[in-house]
Amino acid sequence: MNSHPNDVPFHERHDDELLTLEDVAQILRTSPNTVRWWRQIGTGPEFFKIGRRLYTSVADLRRFIREQRLAARPVLARPKAV
82 within a domain of the structure (yes/no): no
32 within a domain of the structure (yes/no): yes
Q: What is the pTM of this model?
A: 0.76
CA 30/CA 25 separation, integer angstroms: 5
CA 10/CA 46 separation, integer angstroms: 17
18 within a domain of the structure (yes/no): yes
Q: What is the CATH number of the domain that holds 54?
A: 1.10.1660
15-59: per-residue pLDDT in tens? 999 999 999 999 999 999 999 999 999 999 999 999 999 999 999
Exposure of 47 in the CB half-sphere (CA atoms within 13 A): 24
Cα–chain-centroid distance for residue 22?
A: 11
Number of compact structural domains in the chain? 1
Domain that holds residue 21: 11-69
2 within a domain of the structure (yes/no): no
- Return the amino acid letter for 6: N
28 within a domain of the structure (yes/no): yes
76 within a domain of the structure (yes/no): no
4 within a domain of the structure (yes/no): no
